[in-house]
Structure 1
Amino acid sequence: MIRSRSNRGFTLIEIMVGLVIGLIATVIIFQVFEVAERQKRTTTGTSDAQGNGAIAVFMMERHMKMAGAGLNHDTFEGCTTLHTFDADLGGPIDATGGSSLFNVAAIGDGASPSGSDTITLLYYDDPSNPEFRYSDSLLSATVNNPSLDLQPLTAHNCNAGGMALMAQSGTCMLMSVTGVTPSSGTSTPATVRHDPAPAGRYNPAAGVSMSWGSYNKYSARFQCFPGLFRVTYGINTRQLEVTEPDPAVPGATRTTPVVPDILDLQAQYGIDNPALVPPIEWVDATGATWGAPSLADVRRIRAVRVAILALNSEYQKPPTDTGVCDATTDAMRAGWSSWANLNPPADLTPDFHCYRFKVFESVIPLRNILWAN
């Protein structure tokens, strides 16, 4: 009688087969993990791009809707001639000049067709000050030369270091306030001084003779405001930056990066054109007319529309069968915007097909200007 021996363990062949199966399973697991991780990164990057773009549009829209705050535009919207003196520029800004002092949302066109625009918003009070309330008045004494002290019916909000604006029949005069003597009763009105430059930047220097017309008693409108404050949005090194007044240093500005992965900013003026339905026309801030709009043209600006290009910074690998990136095709790029020429930065242009982008557009009304009309 033959007795068979029992077999224990694995043979070498069985071990080799098990190793092969295990390696195949490992490859499959890591392949699935790699695909899932790539999809997760793409989704996360797209979410970041959407969030960055939404924040950028929100910030610009919020500031732009408040542009022009601090001035009674209903009174001074009719200014067709602005007289002032800028000591920093070394001379008068006369006749129809000085439009930049009334353009509350000035677009700076990019240096080239692919350059990013800038938007400079003008306020007549610090935008961080929630307490200021403007109050315009009338002159209680005629002013027939730019060196006379001013005697308004009320000097409300007039303070040394601030500014004052007079208007009559379309002619306006802007000056710096260097001192205020309060009213001592109905017989002695308040006096607002505007001493010559350099005491006040926007006052004519001593010895400068100019004919700026006459502003008549009880006819010319008058208002004081804290000053000219500007907030500028622009693109620098793939991020949105804002330049604004520095609260820690009066008169100084600070530039702060606020939103990353914003590649391009384009903007257009929405101007009043009664010949169209609806009566608004969109124009680029270029050329002799809108590159530096006159006072009359500034009065036609009613809105600004913006387009920004946000980046999903996750590099998308090209398909293995073609070896060519197709995350963003030329057809997709052509459809980014119906009006704006949006472009990735030069260092990204050769590989822009390997990235995903998100475009945001918004039409922003200038509320303070609209309410004045």
Structure 2
Amino acid sequence: MTTALFPRRRGGFSLVELMVSVVVGMLALLFATRLITNAEVNRNASLGGSDAMQNGMLALFSMQNDAAQAGWGLNDPLVAGCDTVFTDANGYTLAPAPRNGVDITPMSAVIIEDGGANPDRISFYTGSSPAAVGSVKNTQQYTGGSSIRTTSRPPYNFNPGDVLLVAPEPAGADRCALAQVASILPAPNDDTIDFSPGGAYRFNTAAGLGATFQPSQARIYNLGPGSRLAFHSWSVNNGILLLRATDLAGASQQPVSVIDNVVSIKAQYGFDTRVLPSYDPAPDKDGIQVGQWSSTMINADGDADTGGAGDFQRIAAVRLAVVARSKSAEKPDSHGRCSATTAQPQVFTSAAPAGVTAVPVTVNVAVAGDPIDWKCYRYRVFETIVSLRNAEWRP
């Protein structure tokens, strides 16, 4: 009897099983890769959003604090908007503002140098004396020199090192001037304020005040100690928020870096444009309120001057915006294109206060010299409105 022989099955995988295993493994690897990639993208987006939020909020808080403090001693109608002579041995310069097409250097709680779609330069001026009223007048004509004679009594509470602001009366008759008290001359000339130049008096020059004042037609304001005179100018360069300041060591002549990955700052004046028979901004009278937003000076009081002293006195508030970007750029797609951000952000889009027309501004967030496309970053916009606390309270 013949026995049938059957081939013995060898151990291992068949070719079909091997191919199926390879396909399943590749699918699992592809899924895991996508999972890891998506997790990394989400992590970068979250961290980038966190960085932008932290930097943006800190930048806005810093400028908001300056805006809230701005104006001590600068809200008097004789002072607000007055073209001012100012010299600082440490290098700080006043911000220019146009008046009828010509740049002046006015005194104001806030001055905006409009950059259009690019970042603005925003300056806030603050004295430190809560009683910086023009209680002292000159008695003799001043045309130059290192001293000015006041009323027939010693100027009360004027101390060496205090910053003086001399303003003509009536407003607009002459330029204003800033200087620093070097001494009050001894009797019988103790009605004379000396502002001779010296190492301790950075705001004094050998040329004197640099302006002229007629007898009994100038008021002298005390803005407090020079070390606490807070003239601050905020700007942005190459994605870094910068600050020039009179009261920060090393920051007077050249701005110092404050916060990185801030690509733009913008500001708008809030003008009171009401036409009233007898306009009085005192809080117990007409008060002061925003009726129009503008990035530049306007003819808010309806006189013959655009950017005149009356227009500065009509500034009721300032609107601020900060645009911050993520620290890390997201990777482009397979075609080399980024889509983290597809359009330039806009600021000041909402109507605030209610009924006041918004004036939106599109912000250019591209950083000069950055080889990475601006669309590869994520951006956050932060805004606030700050009322100028001294706008209504005027001598």
Corresponding residue for residue 105 of structure 2: 100
Structure 1, residues 141-174: CA drift from partner, whole Å, max 9, x if none?
8334456433455431431463243665546854
Aligned to 1:305: 319
Change (3 A) 1:175 1:233: closer
1:235 corresponds to which residue?
Answer: 236
Which residue, out of 337, 340, 343, partners 1:327? 340
Gaps of 5+ in 1: 89-95, 126-131
Query: Residue 315 of structure 1: which of 330, 339, 355 is its match?
Result: 330
Instruction: Report the equivalent of 2:71.
Output: 68
Alignment of 1:1-373 (within 5 A): 10-11=12-13, 18=21, 21-69=24-72, 71=73, 73=75, 76-79=76-79, 100-110=105-115, 113-125=116-128, 133-134=130-131, 136=133, 138-139=135-136, 142-145=139-142, 148-151=148-151, 154-160=155-161, 162-165=163-166, 168-170=169-171, 174-181=177-184, 191-195=192-196, 205=207, 212-215=213-216, 222-223=221-222, 225-227=224-226, 229-245=230-246, 247-248=248-249, 252-253=252-253, 255-275=255-275, 279-285=290-296, 293-312=307-326, 313-318=328-333, 325-330=338-343, 333=344, 338=349, 339-345=360-366, 351-372=373-394
Determine if contact 2:290/2:316 at 8 Å carries over to the other structure.
no
User: 2:57 aligns to what SS in structure 1?
Assistant: helix
Deviation string, structure 1 residues 270-293 (Cα, Å, up to 9, x no partner):
112015996521122268999983
Q: What is aligned with 1:128? A: none
- Greater shift, 54-63 or 164-173, is seen at 164-173
Describe the SS at the equivalent of 2:243. strand
* Secondary structure at the counterpart of residue 318 of structure 2: strand
Distance 2:83 2:105 in 1: 13
Distance 1:114 1:336, change over 3 A: closer
- Using a 3 Å threshold, how does the CA distance of structure 1 residues 158 and 166 change in structure 2: closer, same or farther? farther
Q: Tell me if the contact between 2:318 and 2:387 (Cα under 8 Å) persists in the aligned partners.
A: yes
Which amino acid is the alignment partner of residue 327 of structure 1? A
Contact 2:81 2:106 in 1 (8 A): no
* Cα-to-partner distance string for 1:64-88 (whole Å, 9 max, x where unaligned): 111123x263xx3344895865578
Decide whether the 8 Å contact of 1:167 with 1:222 is kept in 2.
no
TM-score, L = length of structure 1:
0.71
Partner residue in 2 for 1:129: none
Q: Are residues 183 and 136 of structure 1, via their aligned partners in 2, closer, same or farther at CA, if it must alter by over 3 Å?
A: farther
Please tell me whether the aligned partners of residues 155 and 224 of structure 1 are also in contact (alpha carbons under 8 angstroms).
Answer: no
Q: Percent identity?
A: 22
User: 1: CA distance between counterparts of 2:81 and 2:348?
Assistant: 38
Residues 1:271 and 1:83: Cα distance change in structure 2 (over 3 Å): closer
Residues 66, 368 of structure 1: 8 Å contact kept: no
Query: Structure 1's 193 and 167: CA in aligned 2 closer, same or farther, altered over 3 A?
Result: same
1:37 positional shift: 1.3
Residues 40, 87 of structure 1: CA spacing in aligned structure 2 closer, same or farther, 3 A cutoff? closer
Mapped contact 1:162–1:225 kept (Cα < 8 A): yes
Residue matched to 1:91 = none
Are 1:99 and 1:295, in contact at CA under 8 Å, matched by a contact in 2?
no
Do the aligned residues in 1 keep the contact of 2:119 with 2:264 (CA within 8 Å)?
yes
Counterpart of 1:29 in 2: which secondary structure? helix
Mind listing any 5+ residue stretches in structure 2 that lack a counterpart?
89-98, 277-287, 350-359
Displacement of 1:231: 1.1
Cα gap change, 1:53 to 1:213, in 2 (>3 Å): same
With structure 2 as the length reference, what TM-score do the two structures score? Answer: 0.68
In the other structure, the counterpart of 2:284 is none
The code of the aligned residue for 2:207 comes to A
Structure 1 window deviating more from structure 2 (31-40 vs 140-149): it is 140-149
Which amino acid is 1:58 matched to? F
